[in-house]
Amino acid sequence: MRFIGLTGGIGTGKTTVSNYLHQSYQFPVWDADIYGREAVQPGSPILGDIVEHYGQNIILPNGNLDRQQLGEIVFNNQKELHWLEQQIHPYVRHRFEENIKYFIIKNSEFNDKTFQQITSYQTTSQNSTVVLVIPLLFEAKMTDLVTETWVIYSTLQQQIERLIKRDRLTEKQAYTRINNQMSLAEKCEKADIVVDNSSTLDILLKQVDSAIAYQQNNSVSGRKKNLN
């Protein structure tokens, strides 16, 4: 089975790549950001802990978490960012683990194997690839959930421009959020596959096609491949 851990810096194009993999290859896509939102739904224990930590003002009138206000707090304070991640990451990991186990049971004759064994379990199923979109794949130490790691790369200036446009951040805010993650250069060094999204969409998608064809049992393990 192939569990692709898709990561990169904020604003590098992870969603573009994951959408393409889902639409063109029909791979299931599991997204850590979606699970992170689930973790703080109104009434959840984690949201209760956040309110206890930051006060009721962190909640919007409709009962949802004020993400903008929370972002201003944690992205300007490493201690607070670390505290928040400690609340959310275990939930996100648990959701991934549940999905992996269910996927293996559904697609193979899975029988009484420990979680440590399942990501190396082999199957003849043609539908045995899943994409796990995990922005903090390395930082949150979730690489054991995947069989290969892909990093989507773009230049710092492109990241900043995309964040300003997408999230309506100031240049300073965009840079602060980028700077709170592991450097993109370090992520590229750790990756099995690096996909360069600093050029055109067509070039990006051709690299994705090449990466899919680059079979794990032949080349991925222990060797990094740059597709640009």
97: alpha, beta or left? (left if phi > 0; alpha if psi -120 to 50): alpha
- Give the DSSP H/E element, type plus range, for residue 228: none
Give the number of C-alpha atoms closer than 13 A to the C-alpha of residue 176, restricted to the C-beta side. 14
Annotate 63-78 with three-state secondary structure. Answer: CCECHHHHHHHHCCCH
What tokens were used for 48? 């209760």
Task: Tell me the percentage of the chain whose pLDDT exceeds 90.
Answer: 77
As beta bridge partners, residue 43 has none
| Whole-number pLDDT of residue 167 | 87
| Whole-number pLDDT of residue 153 | 97
150: Cβ contacts below 8 Å, ≥ 6 apart? 4, 5, 6, 7, 17, 191, 192, 193, 194, 195, 211
Query: Is residue 222 over pLDDT 50?
Result: no
CA distance 136 to 178: 12
> For 156-196, what is each residue's pLDDT tens digit?
999 999 999 998 889 999 999 999 899 999 999 999 999 99
Q: What are the two backbone dihedrals, phi and then psi, of residue 119, each rounded to the nearest 5 degrees?
A: -75, -10
- The length of the chain in residues reads 228
Amino acid letter at 141? Answer: K
Can you give the residue range of the structural domain that contains 166? 2-226
> Higher pLDDT residue, 209 or 1?
209
> For 70-114, what is each residue's pLDDT tens digit?
999 999 999 999 999 999 999 999 999 999 999 988 876 544 454
| Whole-number pLDDT of residue 30 | 98
Chain-centre distance for alpha carbon 146: 11
- What is the pTM assigned to this prediction? 0.86
- As for how many domains the chain has, the answer is 1
6: Cβ contacts below 8 Å, ≥ 6 apart? 14, 17, 18, 21, 131, 132, 133, 134, 137, 150, 152
User: Which CATH number does the domain housing residue 218 bear?
Assistant: 3.40.50.300
| Residue 228 confidence class, pLDDT cut points 50, 70, 90 | low
Over the chain, what is the mean pLDDT?
88
Q: Is residue 156 classed as helix, strand or coil in its secondary structure?
A: helix
User: Do the Cβ atoms of 188 and 155 come closer than 8 Å?
Assistant: no
**Residue 169: how many other CB atoms lie within 10 Å:** 20
